[in-house]
Every structure is written in C-alpha cells, then in structure tokens.
Amino acid sequence: MEKVFDSKTLTSILSESSLKDYSNIRIGGKAKYLFIAKRVSDLSLIITQANKANLKILPVGGASNILFGNVGDRVLILDRDIPQNIAFKRDEIVVSSNYNINAFIDEMMKHDLGGLEFLSGIPAHIGGAVHMNAGAFGKSISSYLEWIEIISIKGKREIIQKEELHFDYRKTSINGFIINAAFKLESKPEKDILTEVQNIISTRKVRHPYDYPSLGSTFKNPAGYFAGKLIEECELKGTRIGDAEVSKKHANFIINRGNAVFDDMIKLIELIKKEVFEKKGIMLELEIKVIN
C-alpha cells in the first residue's frame, strides 16, 4: 500500500478487501482503502490523513443500502467495530451511530420508550437511518431526532442541532460521519411496543422478499405514486439480467439470486427506469446509493 496512512496511529487498515463481504446484496469488488475503525478517534485520524492525500471519503456504516461498483481510490470507513453505547440524558437518549436500529428499538422497549417501531425490520444502523432520513408507513426518523454528533469532513467532532439540518424524503443535509444521535421518544407500555413491532415485521415478511439478498427499496416513491406499483404495472416483476432480478414479491426490490454483479444491477436499474418513463411518464429516482 502507498504510504498514505500512518499505520502506527491507526488500529485497523484492511487493504484489497472485497466489498462483497460487507454488502447486504453481496456485490462488490476490491477496495484499495477500506477501514474498519476500532475507536471514534480513528475516524478523525483516517479523515485527516485522507484529506492530506486529497482522497475522497465515503462513510459506509452498515452498508445496508449501498451498491458498490469500482470505488477507485475512495477511502471507505466502516464503524461496526467501534464500541456501542446508549446513554440517558434528561429526556433524551443518546445512541452511537453503529447501533442496529432493531436492537435499539428492542432496548428502548425495555424502558417503555417507543415511536420508532415503524422502522422495525429495516437492516440499518442508526447513523445510516438518520443520514437518509429513513421512514415507513408515513413516518420518518427525523421526527424523533434532537441532535447529532459528527466527525466533519475536516476531521473535527461537532454537535449539530436538528434545527440546523435540512430533512427531505430519504435525504438530509448531513455532511460528515455521524458518531452519535440523540432522540426524544414516546412513553409507551412495553407490551404495546412489542405488539406493534411484531405486526410491522409480519407485514414486511408478507410484502418483502427476504429469501435473497437485496438493498431494500431500490427507488424512491414519486409524489402521489408507489414505485413498486409503477414497476409492477409495467410488467417487470421477475425481469432478470444475469442473477439480478426484479422480485416477484415486491417490484421495488431487486434481489441477487446468487452471483449477480454490479453491471447486472445497473443494467436492470436502467431498464426499469426506461420502461417506467416510457409507459408512465415518470422518471424514477434511486433510493439506494450507487458508488462507482
């Protein structure tokens, strides 16, 4: 590896690693600079050293909605091995960004705190969910957010209040690596939260394909429409390129039937966009992130 990063000051560097091992859809090639940080302080060091080398930085988090192509010289950072924590501060709950959203919901349920049940079953980390303003059933995570702590693109720790951020449908103005998020949740009996969680997960299992790897919803819902319904009405369910397939269960999911590669996914995505635009006059916008 080129002498870009000082291995003496960092706890972990993984070079030439396959991103397939970290992708929910099991697609990805080799990465020149892939870091699995062991501590928050490493994030600042990695970002600072990457900036000095003029390398682009990509916070990956849990990689639950990222399609990896050729990442080039980008510096990819995973936070899964950084110690997790939850702290109760007055009426706020502060949680580390690498906490799995489902584990967080379960932990809060023990304290009769709810509100985020609508995210049950989504395989995301808190940081990723906040960064994309994750939502379902007409609700969004930003409604419960109070503030975030980030490592900025300059490598500095900063706390940003919710009022300083812009939230939109599946996107935010956040620019940096989220390390902590503070929430104000609702007081709810544990049994009521559990019932809602079970109902939502049951609904997802009926509607969504869990038998093959995927990145969840591929496209955002256009205003007044459902992307999956548009795709289904274009008779694209089951359409397959290589091992990438439009799920027969939910048309807004593209699944990997075994050995799908990046090009299979991109060709299928472009085919879907073309067909929906030609037949419905609507240009679909990606909800997943494509890195290439």
Q: What's the rounded Cα separation, in Å, for the pair 262 and 23?
A: 12
Name which of 158, 153, 157, 175 is nearest 39 in CA terms. Answer: 157
Largest CA distance in the chain: 57
- List, as one string, the DSSP characters of 246-259: E-SS-TTEEEE-SS
Structural domain boundaries of the chain?
17-78, 86-191, 209-291
pLDDT, tens digit, 9 for 90 and up, residues 188-238 = 999 999 999 999 999 999 999 989 999 999 999 999 999 999 999 999 999
Q: Which pairing describes strands 157-161 and 214-217: parallel, antiparallel, or unpaired?
A: unpaired
Which distant-in-sequence residues (6+ apart) come within 8 Å of 128 by Cβ?
61, 62, 64, 65, 97, 134
The CATH architecture annotation of domain 17-78 reads 2-Layer Sandwich (3.30)
Q: Which residue has the tokens 């702290």?
A: 87
Would residue 287 show up in a list of annotated catalytic residues for this protein?
yes
Instruction: Please report the pLDDT score of residue 187 as a whole number.
Output: 96
pLDDT tens sequence across 116-159? 999 999 988 999 999 999 998 889 999 999 999 999 988 899 99
> Do 146 and 167 meet the contact criterion of CB atoms below 8 Å apart?
no
In the structure, what pLDDT confidence band is assigned to residue 12 with cuts at 50, 70 and 90? low
Q: Which of 32-46, 180-194, 208-222, 267-281 has the lowest mean pLDDT?
A: 32-46
**How many whole angstroms separate alpha carbon 158 and alpha carbon 111?**
29
| Confidence class for position 80, pLDDT limits 50, 70, 90 | confident
Asked if 145 and 182 count as a contact pair (C-beta separation under 8 A), the reply is yes
In the set 44, 117, 170, 245, the catalytic residue is 170
Instruction: Tell me which architecture the domain covering 209-291 has in CATH.
Output: Alpha-Beta Complex (3.90)
Query: Catalytic: 2?
Result: no
| pLDDT digit string, tens, across residues 58-71 | 888 778 889 999 99
Which pLDDT does position 249 carry in this prediction? 95
For domain 86-191, the question of CATH label 3.30.465.10 is answered with yes
**Residue 1: pLDDT over 50:** no
Rounded to the nearest integer, the mean pLDDT of the chain is 92
Name the pTM for this structure.
0.87
What's residue 100's pLDDT? 94
Q: Which residues of 18-48 are buried (b: 16+ CB within 10 A; e: fewer)?
A: ebeebbbbbbbeebbbbbbbeebebbbbbbe
Contact 140, 162 (CB under 8 A): no
Q: What percent of the chain has pLDDT over 70?
A: 97
Q: Give the pLDDT band of residue 15 (cuts 50, 70, 90).
A: low
Q: What is the pLDDT of residue 223?
A: 92
